[in-house]
Chains A and B, each alone.
Chain A
Amino acid sequence: MEGLSPERKEEGQWIVLMGFLVSIGIFFLALILSQSTIVGQTTAEGVLEFPKNDLQDVRAEILDITKEKSMGSLTQAQENRVMEDIQNLSLHRKSALVEYLIGDWDPGAGNRIVRIHYNNGVFEYDETASVRY
């Protein structure tokens, strides 16, 4: 060991230290990379979680009923039963609370106001739609 001077020992330390630094750098890069896959994962999850199709479906159905009411093909009693259908089906099969109110026809403005409320525990949606039929 006499051949090894203290200076040479110091140089070895630097090599090890640089190794540490580089490995830590690569480690952080790896962390960032693996984070990016998690981002993608939550994009798909977010799409799945957001009840876009349910909302569009419920909304289209309510506006459909509004049109049928305007055309006179639904009596008030039938309309009330249809509302019970939608509320019960969505509560039992989709775990979502749906409430809506079809306003009276306003001959002055030439429209009626439809209020829609949707809540599935994660997302809440409220809409006040002005319908021209």
Chain B
Amino acid sequence: MVNSDAQLYTMEGIAAGVIMILTAYLVLGSTSVYTPGDTHITDMQLEQVGADVLKIMDTPPDLNNASELEKIVATNDGARFHQLFWETYLMSGEIAAQKTTRTGSSIITNATVYYHYTDTVTDPLNPQPVIQGYQLSKPLIPYSGSEPGVRVTRYVNVTARNTTDCSSCCPIPPCDPALCPKMPATVEDRPQVMLVEVFMWKA
């Protein structure tokens, strides 16, 4: 005859075992959880770095000169923007403290300038404020829409609409408009504040 008295204890033992295994799994698992927090850390670092670079680009070197970013926006010099933002600052060595250089991980940037003007053409009786943007520098690889990225911005003073000065991109006049993109026609010719917006993502 089979005695079933001990079955209860066996089941208890199994239950305890399952709980212990579960607990051990949780303990081990919790030390290597790839939570969204990880991406937040890199996002936070990237955002801080991007904001810092824009800030120091918008800091005039001395009292007698405008800031680099102001000059870039005023002359619409996207190549110079990319050279400074990306090459000089953002990618200047992975960890400078260890003198290690940049590795395969790379950041793609797309810079857009937004400006504000009053639209008096569409409805002359009821002028509306309009926010319009144009591309300052193109990304090397187009954005697929799925990579996580961060956006940093900086307000820039512009004294007037850029119409004539394109000496930096074509030294011999007459300038080829394709070589020397000017600000869009709707940019008002007055001292104004524009917004440089840089979108960065990891390729």
Residues B16 and A85 in contact, CB atoms below 8 Å apart = no
Q: Which of B16, B23, B114, B115 contacts A26 (CB 8 A)?
A: B23
Q: With a CB–CB cut-off of 8 A, which chain A residues contact B51?
A: 53, 57
Residues B155 and A89 in contact, CB atoms below 8 Å apart = yes
Residues B33 and A34 in contact, CB atoms below 8 Å apart = yes
Q: Which of A56-103 contact B (CB under 8 A)?
A: 56-58, 61, 64-65, 68, 73-74, 78, 81-82, 84-86, 88-89, 92-94
Cα distance, A16 to B12, chains bound together (Å) = 7
Cα distance, A94 to B192, chains bound together (Å) = 18
Q: Which of B16, B37, B48, B195 contacts A93 (CB 8 A)?
A: B195
Taking the complex as formed, is A45 at the interface, i.e. its CB lies under 8 A from any CB of chain B? yes
Q: With a CB–CB cut-off of 8 A, which chain B residues contact A42?
A: 37
Chain A, interface SS category = helix
Cα distance, A33 to B30, chains bound together (Å) = 7
Residue among A19, A73, A94 with max Cβ neighbours from chain B (10 Å):
A19
Which A residues contact B (CB, under 8 angstroms)?
Answer: 1, 9, 12-13, 16, 19-20, 22-23, 26-27, 29-30, 33-34, 37-38, 40-42, 44-45, 47-48, 53-54, 56-58, 61, 64-65, 68, 73-74, 78, 81-82, 84-86, 88-89, 92-94
| Interchain residue pairs with CB less than 8 A apart (15) | A1-B5, A9-B9, A16-B12, A22-B20, A30-B23, A34-B30, A37-B35, A44-B40, A45-B37, A48-B40, A57-B55, A82-B192, A84-B116, A88-B131, A93-B131
> Beyond A9-B9, A53-B47, A85-B193: 5 further Cβ-contacts under 8 Å?
A26-B20, A37-B33, A48-B44, A53-B48, A86-B193
